[in-house]
């Protein structure tokens, strides 16, 4: 039986705004849009715990675009900060000093640099303690706020400031992107989900579902980054949609370890349609097309969906490998 939801179309998205216009994030930033949508589902009683990163510039004392609470932490310690907030709220309510109506939802918000790399030790501790919190990672696939250096989330074949294409290494980054979804699932987190701002109803439902589950909840949002990826800011949503349609960014969730893909493309678009729209992959096509690297990316995507379909009982038409 399907889980009841208040989100069936985009018309059901709450009209309340807790993030005001005029913040200092880059135009077209997928990360700040994710925060906006996330906040709409959670409502006004939220405390954000932020690790150093792109989102840090969104709130600069004494100015803030948020109608909620915001706490900065060091790069590595946002989940530890969330533990302190959650414990303080619980103690105050237990002592009768804070009414339950004033309880807060505690949300860690970080980029992939903190989520995949520098802050994972703190996150692992929070998962082990079964901390009741939300973790929103805006994944722009690099260390965006310090110049777009490679992180463990940087995809194969892309250029970054620390993995530029060179004569000796013409394809740029040779590492494969870490699967943070599976890392959290392996730690027995009760809820893990991937998000895309381009698929709003799927996004809303997942945040809503997380609210019914006690314990650590990880959300990995595919956050388009115009400045780092190299594309026109007006195309952010279209690019995020292409990532889903090509199968590069699967939309799925894990509830108590059981994985379900929530959006299944009937037929995968070729990855070229996604890659050619970003400067970070331009070296794969000019001055010489790097057919082997592009084929590697396409074969990896096709293989992923073949395995996922076999496990869950669906079929996805693979894109042609050229």
* DSSP per residue, 21-87: S--SSPTT-HHHHHHHHHHHHH-S-EEEEEESSGGGGG-BTTB-SBSSEEEEE-TT-HHHHHHHHHH
pLDDT at 62: 85
More confident residue, 248 or 59: 248
Range of the domain at 99: 11-264
Q: What is the pTM of this model?
A: 0.96
- In-domain check, residue 295: no
46-51 and 69-73 beta bridge pairing: parallel
Find all residues with CB under 8 Å of 43, minimum gap 6, and list them. 14, 16, 18, 105
The yes-or-no verdict on residue 15 having pLDDT over 80 is yes
pLDDT at 310 over 90: yes
pLDDT above 50: residue 271: yes
Sign of CA dihedral 30, 34, 35, 36: positive
For residue 20, pLDDT over 50 is answered with yes
Q: Which two tokens stand for residue 35?
A: 């925060």
Look at 3-12, 155-164, 279-288 and tell me which has the smallest mean pLDDT: 3-12
* Domain containing residue 180: CATH number: 3.40.50.970
Question: Is residue 279 domain-resident?
Answer: no
Q: What is the pLDDT of residue 23?
A: 85
Residue 4 is predicted with a pLDDT of: 83
pLDDT at 1: 43
Tell me: the pLDDT tens digits for 82-99? 999 999 999 999 999 999
Q: Please determine, for residue 293, whether its predicted confidence score (pLDDT) is greater than 80.
A: yes
Share of the chain above pLDDT 70, in %: 99
Q: Under 8 Å CB-to-CB from 23, ≥6 apart: which residues?
A: 32, 58, 65
Whether the predicted pLDDT of 236 surpasses 70: yes
Q: Which of 64-68, 151-155, 220-224, 295-299 has the lowest mean pLDDT?
A: 64-68
Residue 196 placed within a domain: yes
Residue 293 lies in a domain: no
> Does 227 reside within a domain?
yes
Specify burial of residue 101 (Cβ count, 10 A radius: 0-12, 13-18, 19+).
Answer: exposed
For residues 173-192, average pLDDT: 97
* pLDDT, averaged across the chain: 96
Q: Is residue 238 part of a domain?
A: yes
Residue 243 inside a domain? The answer is: yes
Residue 149 lies in a domain: yes
User: pLDDT digits over 96-150, tens only?
Assistant: 999 999 999 999 999 999 999 999 999 999 999 999 999 999 999 999 989 999 9
How many structural domains comprise the chain? 1
User: How much of the chain exceeds pLDDT 90, in percent?
Assistant: 93
């Amino acid at each position: 039986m399907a889980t009841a939801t208040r989100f069936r179309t985009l018309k059901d998205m709450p009209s309340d705004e807790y993030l005001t216009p005029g913040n200092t994030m880059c135009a077209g930033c997928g990360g700040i849009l994710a925060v906006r949508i996330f906040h709409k589902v959670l409502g006004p009683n939220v405390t954000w715990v932020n690790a150093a990163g792109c989102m840090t510039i969104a709130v600069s004392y004494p100015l803030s675009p948020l109608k909620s609470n915001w706490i900065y932490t060091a790069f590595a310690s946002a989940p530890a900060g969330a533990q302190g907030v959650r414990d303080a709220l619980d103690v105050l309510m237990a002592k009768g000093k804070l009414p339950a109506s004033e309880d807060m939802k505690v949300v860690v918000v970080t980029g992939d640099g903190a989520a995949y790399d520098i802050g994972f030790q703190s996150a692992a501790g929070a998962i082990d303690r079964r901390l009741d919190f939300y973790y929103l990672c805006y994944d722009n696939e690099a260390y965006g706020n310090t110049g777009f250096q490679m992180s463990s989330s940087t995809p194969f074949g892309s250029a970054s400031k620390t993995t530029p294409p060179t004569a000796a290494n013409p394809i740029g980054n040779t590492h494969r992107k870490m699967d943070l979804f599976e890392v959290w699932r392996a730690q027995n987190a009760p809820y893990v989900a991937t998000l895309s701002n381009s698929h709003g109803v799927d996004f809303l439902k997942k945040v809503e579902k997380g609210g019914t589950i006690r314990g650590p909840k990880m959300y990995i949002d595919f956050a388009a980054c115009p400045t780092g990826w190299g594309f026109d800011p007006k195309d952010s949503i279209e690019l995020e949609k292409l990532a889903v349609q090509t199968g590069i960014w699967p939309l799925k969730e894990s509830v108590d370890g059981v994985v379900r893909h929530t959006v299944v493309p009937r037929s995968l678009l070729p990855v070229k349609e996604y890659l050619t729209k970003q400067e970070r992959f331009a070296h794969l096509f000019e001055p010489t097309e790097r057919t082997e690297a592009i084929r590697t990316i396409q074969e990896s995507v096709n293989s992923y969906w073949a395995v996922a379909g076999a496990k869950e009982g669906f079929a996805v038409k693979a894109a042609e490998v050229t």
